[in-house]
Structure 1
Amino acid sequence: MIRFENVGLRYGMGPEVLRDVSFHIPRQSFQFLTGPSGAGKTTLLRLLFMSLRPTRGLISVFGKDIATIDAGELPQLRRRIGIVFQDFRLLDHMTVYENVGLPLRVRGKEESTYQRDVLDLLKWVGLGERVHALPPVLSGGEKQRVAIARALIDQPELLLADEPTGNVDPPMARRLLRLFLELNRLGTAVVIATHDLGLMDQVDARRMILSNGQLEIYE
């Protein structure tokens, strides 16, 4: 599904943030991405989402070399990826329900075909009573759960989650982890960037550890 070969990235004329990073993400796999603050985890996720291009090396996403694909193909490829950003990126003028259903609406689906799925998912993440709330009145943890629900609603082929449990309590973190595992069981490849060792210890999954711009993998 994803292949990195000797990827390097630098911003401007600065030193390389990532150096000689090579790995692959198989379909239906589950992995954690971890490492100290500033190691480059968010940068790596942005490369996976194709919102950054590498300075050198090869990145192949769904069999496409991102250095050579036409810009018009990027939106279609990104629709196959669900992503949870640390800054949530919710639309403040839309309700919780509307934010979560937006990816399906953008695809041209009728609301009647997805309304029940959105409501059920919001109940699962503990937001069944916040369906009509607007993002500005939500807590940080509630916004995070809305962002997670939005990323999951269309059952993407690949899920990228940047610290998805960082603003929730331990019981909710465990519940969200079960949701990620269920999505994985249904066929989605999952990459979770996290500092939470306790969360990682709950799953026997591959660990990708970034340190000083380089990646080590423990199966």
Structure 2
Amino acid sequence: MIRFNNVGMRYGMGTEILHDVSFNIPSGSFQFLTGPSGAGKTTLLKLMFLALKPTRGLISVFDSNTAGLERRDMAQLRRRIGIVFQDFRLLDHMTTYENVSLPLRVRGRDEAGTRAEVEELLQWVGLGERMHVVPQVLSGGEKQRAAIARALIDRPEILLADEPTGNVDPPLARRLLRLFIELNRLGTAVVIATHDLGLMEQVDARRMVLDEGRLVIYD
């Protein structure tokens, strides 16, 4: 579903931060992306989401070589990918419910037919009582859960999550992990970037370790 071939990445004229990164994300797979702070995990996720273009090397997403794609085609591919960024990217003028249901509205799905689905997911992530408030009154952990719910609501073919349990307590982290596992069982490929060794020990999954810009994979 995603394939990197000798990808390198630098910002501007700076030092290259990713060196000859090669890997593939098979359909329906589950993997953790880990490594020290500053190793390039967030940059790697952005490349996978097609939010950045590599300095060199090839990236293929859903069997499409992304090097020559038009912006419109890039947008079509991104709609098949759910992503949770560390900065949440919630829209301040929308309620929690409206933020989470936004991907469904973009696809043209009928709101009346999806309301129960959105409300059930918000209950699952512990935001049932906060669905009608705007992001400004949510805590950091609540914003994170809203961002996770938004990424999951349309059952993406690939889910990319950057430290998705970093601002929640351990019981809720385990509950969110179960949600990711269930989504994976339904066929979504999952990539979770995390420093949490305890979280990774709960799932028998491939580990992709990024250190000093180089990737090592442990199956």
CA drift of 1:68 comes to 1.2
User: Normalising by the residue count of structure 2, what TM-score does the alignment of the two structures yield?
Assistant: 0.99
Counterpart in the other structure of 1:64: 64
CA drift of 1:173 comes to 0.1
> Aligned pair 1:121/2:147, yes or no?
no
Name which of structure 1's ranges 10-19 and 208-217 shifts more when overlaid on structure 2: 10-19
Deviation track 1:89-119 (CA, whole Å, cap 9, x = no partner) reads: 0011111110000000111111011100000
Deviation track 1:121-179 (CA, whole Å, cap 9, x = no partner) reads: 00000111111111000000000000000000000000000000000000000000000
Paired amino acid for 1:139: S
C-alpha distance in 2, partners of 1:185/1:107?
A: 23
> Aligned pair 1:94/2:104, yes or no?
no
Counterpart secondary structure, 2:123 = helix
C-alpha distance in 1, partners of 2:72/2:94?
A: 27
Structure 2's unaligned 5+ residue stretches are none
C-alpha distance in 2, partners of 1:93/1:56?
A: 39
> Aligned pair 1:10/2:16, yes or no?
no
CA drift of 1:203 comes to 0.4
C-alpha distance in 2, partners of 1:212/1:180?
A: 28
Name which of structure 1's ranges 6-15 and 138-147 shifts more when overlaid on structure 2: 6-15
CA drift of 1:74 comes to 1.1
- Please show how residues 64-213 of structure 1 align to structure 2 within 5 Å: 64-213=64-213
Paired amino acid for 2:24: H
Percent pairwise identity: 75
Runs of at least 4 residues off by over 4 Å: none
CA drift of 1:71 comes to 1.6
CA drift of 1:183 comes to 0.2
C-alpha distance in 1, partners of 2:118/2:72?
A: 29
RMSD of aligned Cα (Å): 0.5
User: Normalising by the residue count of structure 1, what TM-score does the alignment of the two structures yield?
Assistant: 0.99
C-alpha distance in 2, partners of 1:187/1:159?
A: 11
Paired amino acid for 1:29: S
Counterpart in the other structure of 1:217: 217
CA drift of 1:14 comes to 1.3
C-alpha distance in 2, partners of 1:99/1:69?
A: 28
C-alpha distance in 2, partners of 1:214/1:127?
A: 38
CA drift of 1:11 comes to 1.0
Counterpart in the other structure of 2:22: 22
C-alpha distance in 2, partners of 1:132/1:169?
A: 23
C-alpha distance in 1, partners of 2:66/2:52?
A: 10
Deviation track 1:67-104 (CA, whole Å, cap 9, x = no partner) reads: 11122101111000000010000011111110000000
- Please show how residues 39-58 of structure 1 align to structure 2 within 5 Å: 39-58=39-58
Paired amino acid for 1:159: L
Q: How many positions carry a matched residue from both structures?
A: 219
Structure 1's unaligned 5+ residue stretches are none
